[in-house]
Amino acid sequence: MKVINFYGGAGIGKSTIAADVFSKLKRKGYKTELVGEYAKWLWYQNATDIVEDQLYLFAEQAHRTRTLEKYGVEFAVCDSPLPLNIIYNREPSDAFDTLVMQEFNRYENYNYLLRRNDDFLTIDDRKETNLEQAKEKDAQVVAMLEKWQIPYTVISPWETDKVGLDLKVR
């Protein structure tokens, strides 16, 4: 299964571009699913205690992705890629990081780091509440991608056609 991952800090446009890419692939007839950010869903339910449990969040995201693979989905489009769990884990652990990367490497990944447009910031009442904090998270994302040697392409949040070209979809 091909997994299309969008990286960046809060409010950069991950969910927006993921939804657009999902929609375009689906309309072209590909068996495609959107793997939304589970933590965001929990925030909307005020389940803040669960959001603090990064192992649980990782397991939920991994389970969703494995389920899609099991049922023959061609493309999974993720606005919260598995490696982001490494950044948000409040109890850093080499074992956890290795587990995350092992799960991530099960798939054929297409990785996109979004270029921030300062006017595009929206936060959804989550931890990164201002542009400075969001940019700090952007830098942490880049450091994590570099540390784990995850290849990525830098694009703007509206460059969905670039993703389609990379995937070689009709």
pLDDT digits (tens, 9 = 90+) for 99-146: 999 999 999 999 999 999 876 555 555 555 688 888 999 999 999 999
- φ/ψ (deg, to 5) at 72: 75, 25
Question: Is the pLDDT reported for residue 148 higher than 90?
Answer: yes
Cα–Cα dist 154/158, whole Å:
12
pLDDT of residue 86: 97
Q: What pTM did the predictor assign?
A: 0.91
Task: Write the pLDDT tens digit of every residue in 3-25.
Answer: 999 999 888 999 999 999 999 99
| Amino acid found at 23 | S
Cα–Cα dist 157/31, whole Å:
23
**pLDDT, mean of residues 84-104:** 96
The residues, ordered by sequence, that sit 6+ positions from 82 with a Cβ below 8 Å of its Cβ are 5, 58, 61, 62, 65, 100, 103, 104
Q: Which residue has the higher pLDDT, 73 or 54?
A: 73
Report whether CATH 3.40.50.300 matches the domain 2-163: yes
| Amino acid found at 3 | V
Task: Write the pLDDT tens digit of every residue in 23-46.
Answer: 999 999 999 999 988 777 776 777
pLDDT of residue 39: 74
pLDDT of residue 37: 82
Task: Write the pLDDT tens digit of every residue in 53-68.
Answer: 889 999 999 999 999 9
